[in-house]
Amino acid sequence: MENKKKTTIKDIAKALNITPSAVSKALSDHPRISDKTKKAVKKAVKDLNYQPNHLASALRKGKSNLVGVIVPRANSNFFSSVVQKIEERLSKEGYNVIITQSNESFSKECKNIESLLYTQVDGIIASMANETTVLDHYETIKSKGIPLIMFDRGEDTLEVDYVGIDDYNSSFAVVEHLKNQGCKRIAHIGGYSHTRIYKNRIIGYKDALVAFNLPVDDELIYESKLKIEDGRRIMQQLLELPKPPDAVFAAGDFAALGALQVLEENNIAVPNDIALVGFSNETFTSLIKPGISTINQRSELIGTLAAETFLKRVNDTNWKPKLNKIIVDSELIVRDSSNKTKFLDRS
């Protein structure tokens, strides 16, 4: 019933009494093929329900037109929006995008890379899992001469293209904002400093404190996985200090949310007693009350730029991977969790 055997270019050739190569050339609009033949082929394609076989053409051409994307998780405003833009841009150029998730796991990330290479992708656009410290699997990609573009979470030592915001400056801007709100003791819930971006956020935070003559106090600085529970736990510890902070800057929105929950449970006024800022502009930060101030990482722009960087690399035949950082400006979004002035006005 359903045509068990799939129609191939040969079937079309047979039907039209021409050779497979003529069909192939007609399909790719070769100038030497007559319009008559092209029309006939187009018709036969419809009639016979022909579906080109990507496997065969990719094998022959040595180019799969597939691009692999690795994200730590798709379930995030930032990553899903980056991915969407990558796909939007690349599909315009005839590429298909394979999205894989590492779920923040190192071994999953390795497996993803392995299967993407096996699938013969023409390039890989990736953001590292939190767990990842060893970079051998990324080196493998490079060693095969396949373009590798990192975004958001990448390491300089990889020496490849990178697209992201300036974490140092973003962090600095947050502290500056909190200082302007009159905060004097600013705590930091950071990510693990083995990751470049979190390290930079910590340094930006510290440098800003120094720049604004605020105390750098190690008991106000924590490293964590930045999950809700981490935010809760650390906030509790901060509240137990003899001198608690008057502001908390978390390097991730979920940690900020955990902190907010603890603050509310302890009836501490936000932002007036303790102001709060997160990082990443997750959807929920604008949905809850009070809204959480945060950093917009410009996911759309990052996605588009990552895609365009890949296109540049793949089209440059004699290109060698080297460190090339594209830094886009981030944006501080001030919401109620750190907007003291608004609340002062009202009272």
The binding site for a copy of itself (CB under 8 A) comprises 2, 4, 6, 49, 51-56, 58-59, 64, 66, 73-77, 80-81, 83-84, 87, 91, 96-101, 103, 111, 115, 117-120, 142-145, 257, 264, 283-284, 287-289
The region of 12-20, 153-161, 282-290, 299-307 touching DNA under the rule CB under 7 A is 12-20
Site membership for DNA, residue 18 (CB under 7 A) = yes
Tell me the C-alpha distance between 136 and 231, whole Å: 32
Q: Is the peptide bond before 271 cis (omega within 30 degrees of 0)?
A: yes
The region of 8-16, 64-72, 132-140, 285-293 touching DNA under the rule CB under 7 A is 8-16
Find the shortest distance in angstroms from Cβ 219 to a copy of itself.
Answer: 28
Residue 170: which of 221, 208, 215, 124 has the closest Cα? 208
C-alpha count within 13 angstroms, C-beta hemisphere, residue 156: 7
Tell me the C-alpha distance between 331 and 164, whole Å: 13
Orientation of helix 106-118 relative to helix 136-143, angle to 10°: 10
Q: Rounded to the nearest 5°, which phi and psi values hold at 92? A: -60, -30
- The count of residues interacting with DNA (CB under 7 A) is 30
Work out the burial of residue 157: count CB atoms within 10 Å of its CB; fewer than 13 is exposed, 13-18 middle, 19 or more buried: exposed
Query: Of how many residues is the chain composed?
Result: 347
Find the shortest distance in angstroms from Cβ 47 to DNA.
Answer: 15
For the chain, give percent helix, strand, coil, nearest 5: 50, 15, 35
Site membership for DNA, residue 22 (CB under 7 A) = yes
Q: H or E element: which one contains 148?
A: strand 148-151
Site membership for DNA, residue 21 (CB under 7 A) = yes
Find the shortest distance in angstroms from Cβ 160 to a copy of itself.
Answer: 13
Residue 238 binds which of a copy of itself, DNA, none (CB < 5-8 A, kind-dependent): none
List residues bridging with 275 in a β-sheet. Answer: 247
Nearest to DNA of 20, 244 (CB atom): 20
Residues 59-78, mask of contacts with DNA (x by CB under 7 A): xxxx----------------
Q: How is residue 173 annotated by DSSP?
A: H
Cα separation values, 244 from 174, 183, 209, 239, 301, Å: 19, 12, 16, 5, 38
C-beta of residue 210 within 8 angstroms of C-beta of residue 179? no
Residues 41-60, mask of contacts with DNA (x by CB under 7 A): ---------x-xx--xx-xx
Residue 28 binds which of a copy of itself, DNA, none (CB < 5-8 A, kind-dependent): DNA
Nearest to DNA of 59, 211 (CB atom): 59
Nearest to DNA of 50, 198 (CB atom): 50
Neighbours of 339 (CB within 10 A): 18
Residue 22 binds which of DNA, a copy of itself, none (CB < 5-8 A, kind-dependent): DNA
Site membership for DNA, residue 30 (CB under 7 A) = yes
Residue 21 binds which of DNA, a copy of itself, none (CB < 5-8 A, kind-dependent): DNA
Neighbours of 210 (CB within 10 A): 11
Residue 169 binds which of DNA, a copy of itself, none (CB < 5-8 A, kind-dependent): none
Residue 184 binds which of a copy of itself, DNA, none (CB < 5-8 A, kind-dependent): none
Residue 124: which of 114, 116, 135, 132 has the closest Cα? 116
Nearest to DNA of 52, 215 (CB atom): 52
Find the shortest distance in angstroms from Cβ 44 to DNA.
Answer: 12
C-beta of residue 288 within 8 angstroms of C-beta of residue 259? no
Which of 28, 317, 318, 347 lies at the binding interface for DNA (CB under 7 A)? 28
Residues that bind DNA (CB under 7 A): 5-6, 8-10, 17-22, 24-25, 27-28, 30, 32-34, 36-37, 50, 52-53, 56-57, 59-62
